[in-house]
Amino acid sequence: MGVMLQEFIEAPSVYACLICRAHIAKRDDVISRTFQGRLGRAYLTESVVNARLGEGEDRLLMTGMHTVCNLHCRLCDSVIGWKYVHAFDKSQQYKEGRYVLEQSRIYSIDQPVEVSADVHLLQLASCELGADVTSSMMI
């Protein structure tokens, strides 16, 4: 088997696969935490990484008929939720293209975010500015 490259999300809070700890989604991208999954509470989110889709199927959910694909962790292949491909009911179509993550299949990680290069440059620039002010005051 080839080496699986894992994508890392740079954000203060991410959801990761419970089994293999691969990053799955940014906590900021979660739209709703009150969804009902097949295994209990679930989250609706805008985008995912390290995931692959299974075969599409029509499924009758509490809110009507939907075409969904199972969402698998790309690294360990466990099912972590599903993607809404199509909602038959117009009032449910905001879910199309979005993902449901089963709360019992993911866990939340808080991670330190490195200072971005831009902030570093800004700090450097203000240091140099400070040095100039000092030298001109000395003249």
List residues near Zn ion by CB under 5 A.
17, 19-20, 22, 73, 75-76
Please identify, using beta-carbon distances, which residue of 75 and 87 lies nearer to Zn ion.
Answer: 75
Q: In angstroms, what is the minimal distance from the CB of 91 to Zn ion? A: 33
Query: Exposed, middle or buried by CB within 10 Å (0-12, 13-18, 19+), for 23?
Result: buried
The span from the CA of 36 to the CA of 14, in Å, is 20
Q: In angstroms, what is the minimal distance from the CB of 49 to Zn ion? A: 12
Q: In angstroms, what is the minimal distance from the CB of 110 to Zn ion? A: 19
Q: In angstroms, what is the minimal distance from the CB of 115 to Zn ion? A: 29
Please identify, using beta-carbon distances, which residue of 15 and 66 lies nearer to Zn ion.
Answer: 15
Give the number of other Cβ atoms within 10 Å of residue 56's Cβ.
14
- Which tokens go with 7? 């994508």
Please identify, using beta-carbon distances, which residue of 24 and 44 lies nearer to Zn ion.
Answer: 24
Q: In angstroms, what is the minimal distance from the CB of 125 to Zn ion? A: 42
Please identify, using beta-carbon distances, which residue of 52 and 120 lies nearer to Zn ion.
Answer: 52
Q: Using CA of residue 18, residue 19, residue 20, residue 24, what is the dihedral sign?
A: negative
Please identify, using beta-carbon distances, which residue of 44 and 73 lies nearer to Zn ion.
Answer: 73
The span from the CA of 60 to the CA of 3, in Å, is 37
Helix/strand/coil for 112: coil
The span from the CA of 79 to the CA of 37, in Å, is 12
